[in-house]
Amino acid sequence: MTFSILIVDDEPDNFDVIEAFLSSDDYHLHYVESGEKALATLPIQQPDLILMDVMMPGIDGLALCKQIKAMSLWQSVPIIMVTALASKHTLAQCLEAGADDFVSKPINRMELTARVRSMLRIRQQYQQLNSFNAQLEAKVAQRTAELQTLLYQDSLTQLPSRINLLERVGLLQAEQRTDFALAYLDCDQFKLVNGAFGYTVGNQLLQAIAERLQQHLRPGDVLARVGEDEFCFLLTALPPDFSLPTWIEAVLQSFHAPFQTSHCEIFMTACLGLALGDSTTTDPEALLQAADTAMYRAKRQGKGCHQWFNPQLHAATLHRLTLENDLQHALSYGELVVYYQPIICLATHRVMGLEALVRWQHPERGLVPPGEFIPCLEETGLVVRAGLVVLRQACQQLRDWHEQGWTTLTVAVNLSVRQFASPTLLADIDQVLAETGANPAYLKLEITESAIMENAEAASVLMDALRERRIQISIDDFGTGYSSLGYLHRFPLDVLKIDRSFVRDMHRSHRNYQVVETIITLSNQLDLAVVAEGIETQDQLQALKKLGCELGQGFFFAKPAPAEAITTTLRNQPLGPVPQPAVRAQG
Ligand code: C2E
Ligand code: CA
Ligand code: CA
């Protein structure tokens, strides 16, 4: 490496001396005889070191040194002052002017070469440090840019990101614009695609969807990817005559054709939630949330639906989320309790069994009926945990009653569709039976027709497994579901429960009367027990008895009550022969 050294001296003889001493391939020397020329030549020579005479006509060495050190481009170039006046005062002046070192005249070769070498070494280290810093800065700048891209752009689809979208919405809100809308799109059951074909195909599908959706952008509009299978349109500068319904229709229509992936063609549907920009909100998150809420509502209506945001919707969602939270709490703190409603022998009015019905002992709201929280439990999947709580309490209670002598009493427990489909159902039941020591032959599980029909194959296997454990099976709300009676004989059933709605109107509606009659006839033929639900009046009771219905439950006899109240009822039962409970003959 050669170093460029600039020598500034008004006497050319001095340069000759220096040149003689520094003759080396490592040094490229350049000579100028004045401060003015030195300044002019700096950009051309770009020296690594400057040797300068102190005493010069025109700009003298001290002034020149000061000037150079004041220029950001050159201040790092070391300056060695060459002076005949080696007084302390002069040296102090040199240092003050910014000089890095000095050499005294007459010049001594060893001193000169040593000082030049040392200064150049410092210079070199400084330059290395500088280039290292520059590299580092470049890297940081590149990473920052990458991060910006990551934050502002989705890497899979190259669409703007959620943050990006929110910023743009924020800008429109800041201008108090109202001529814009958000359309939140969520693919229906996208997870199934990932599950069935893997993530590669899932990603290809998302890219294909993104591409197709972009066809619905007008100039100025934005399509962002805001979640795994969620996209959001920002429609801007909407003219007054713009037909959003037509646009929505077109977007949903574009899902009618399949999407091409490397693996296969896939059909997808999506739901849309829409929220209009309004001048009262300045929170972009809130508007996006509104569109999301509307989308969520659309989802609940089914595939390929759309919904507009309205504030009531928002309140409903909020309510649901609070409820979900509260239910988590309820499960953790044992706030779910079981009430029991007697199932009565219509001929003798004796209690033959009980239906376990869950209640929520809410710390503020008091006793909450299941209609208000079971749907939420179902949606969140919490129903499996809740169902287990009920089953455990009911089995415990069944064993207690049996131990107290009511040995033929049965307890019926409701199973939701989700519970029935739960892969752990059998294991859960086995564990509860083992823990409580309840006799499974007196446990009945009530399921609805839809739980069976949702997956008849699996239901059949499951029911056989229950039958092996001697557990009985009731079909709940019978008549309201598929009403296809053909399948009944294929399953190992024990009881049909006639839905309340038929019993309620049977004396007024001839059709309902016929339904009840048919169900009773049918169950006799299939050797099933029948329980009529919701008996409230003497008339209903008489009609059911006339049709040969054996068992019933309803407010006419007793409302659901805590176990202690039921125990009292049992003690006060009318005396007389205890009819055998409706247990189907085994095998
Ligand atoms: P369900 O299985 O049809 O239960 C019978 C419902 O009818 C109970 O309502 C009961 O209180 C009510 N009921 C009984 N007799 C009469 C009557 O004479 N008149 C009237 N108007 N109603 C009567 P409840 O306890 O509010 O339960 C409602 C539903 O919640 C149940 O309908 C059942 O589907 C579900 N449910 C209750 N407990 C559980 C549970 O532990 N697990 C599951 N999965 N679902 C449950
Ligand atoms: Ca029931
Ligand atoms: Ca029912």
- Give Cα separations from 88 to 62, 83, 93, 294, 382 (angstroms): 15, 12, 9, 85, 89
Q: Is 358 inside a domain boundary?
A: yes
Query: What count of residues does the chain have?
Result: 587
Domain stops at, among 309, 337, 357: 309
Q: What is the mean pLDDT of residues 492-518?
A: 88
Domain stops at, among 309, 340, 364: 309
Residue among 515, 521, 432, 441 at smallest CA distance from 473? 441
Q: Is 99 inside a domain boundary?
A: yes
Q: Is 90 inside a domain boundary?
A: yes
In the prediction, which pLDDT does 490 show? 80
Residue nearest to atom 27 of ligand 1 (CA): 370
CA dihedral for 575, 576, 577, 580, sign (positive or negative): negative
Does residue 65 share a domain with residue 13?
A: yes
Does residue 232 share a domain with residue 211?
A: yes
Pairing mode of beta strands 181-187, 230-235 = antiparallel
State which H helix or E strand residue 270 sits in: strand 270-276
Does residue 238 share a domain with residue 375?
A: no
Distance from residue 113's CA to the centre of ligand 1 (Å): 104
- For position 290, which CATH number holds? 3.30.70.270
Does residue 32 share a domain with residue 81?
A: yes
Counting from 1 in the atom list of ligand 1, the atom nearest the Cα of 415 is 44
pLDDT in tens, 297-323: 899 888 999 998 877 766 776 787 788
Does residue 244 share a domain with residue 191?
A: yes
- Mutation test residue for ligand 1: of 346, 357, 385, the one with most atoms within 8 Å of CB: 357
Q: Is 231 inside a domain boundary?
A: yes
Does residue 305 share a domain with residue 331?
A: no
Does residue 347 share a domain with residue 489?
A: yes
pLDDT in tens, 76-88: 999 999 988 778 8
CA 374 to chain centre: 23
Distance from residue 544's CA to the centre of ligand 3 (Å): 17
> HEC string of 333-396?
CCCEEEEEEEEEECCCCCEEEEEEEEEEEECCCEEECHHHCHHHHHHHCCHHHHHHHHHHHHHH
Counting from 1 in the atom list of ligand 1, the atom nearest the Cα of 553 is 15
Split into its structural domains, the chain has a count of 3
39 pLDDT higher than 70: yes
Does residue 344 share a domain with residue 392?
A: yes
pLDDT in tens, 426-441: 999 999 999 999 999 9
Q: Is 135 inside a domain boundary?
A: no
- Mutation test residue for ligand 1: of 374, 380, 539, 541, the one with most atoms within 8 Å of CB: 374
Distance from residue 356's CA to the centre of ligand 1 (Å): 9
Higher pLDDT, 534 or 526: 534
- List residues, by chain if needed, whose CB lies under 5 Å from ion ligand 3: 476-477, 533
The pLDDT > 70 percentage for the chain reads 96
pLDDT in tens, 108-157: 999 999 999 999 999 999 999 989 988 888 888 788 777 777 788 998 99
Range of the domain at 94: 3-130
Q: Is 152 inside a domain boundary?
A: no
Higher pLDDT, 259 or 522: 259
Does residue 327 share a domain with residue 472?
A: yes
Distance from residue 414's CA to the centre of ligand 2 (Å): 5
- For position 450, which CATH number holds? 3.20.20.450
Place of tokens 């309620």: 504
Does residue 332 share a domain with residue 291?
A: no
Distance from residue 445's CA to the centre of ligand 2 (Å): 9
pLDDT band at 486 (very low <50, low <70, confident <90, very high): low
Peptide bond into 106 cis (omega under 30): yes
Hey, how many other C-beta atoms are within 10 angstroms of the C-beta on 365?
A: 10
Does residue 417 share a domain with residue 325?
A: yes
pLDDT in tens, 213-232: 999 999 999 999 999 999 99
Q: Per the structure block, which two tokens stand in for 98? A: 């910014």
pLDDT in tens, 323-360: 888 999 999 999 999 999 999 999 999 999 999 999 99
Distance from residue 70's CA to the centre of ligand 3 (Å): 93
Distance from residue 198's CA to the centre of ligand 1 (Å): 42
- Ligand 1-lining residues (CB < 6 angstroms): 341, 357-358, 369-371, 374, 387, 390, 414-416, 446, 476-477, 500, 533-536, 553-555, 560
Q: Is 101 inside a domain boundary?
A: yes
Q: How far apart are CA 574 and CA 349, in angstroms?
A: 8
- For position 66, which CATH number holds? 3.40.50.2300
Q: Is 180 inside a domain boundary?
A: yes
Does residue 70 share a domain with residue 209?
A: no
Average pLDDT of the chain, as a whole number? 90
In the prediction, which pLDDT does 577 show? 44
pLDDT in tens, 49-74: 999 999 999 999 999 999 999 999 99
Q: Per the structure block, which two tokens stand in for 141? A: 């700048």
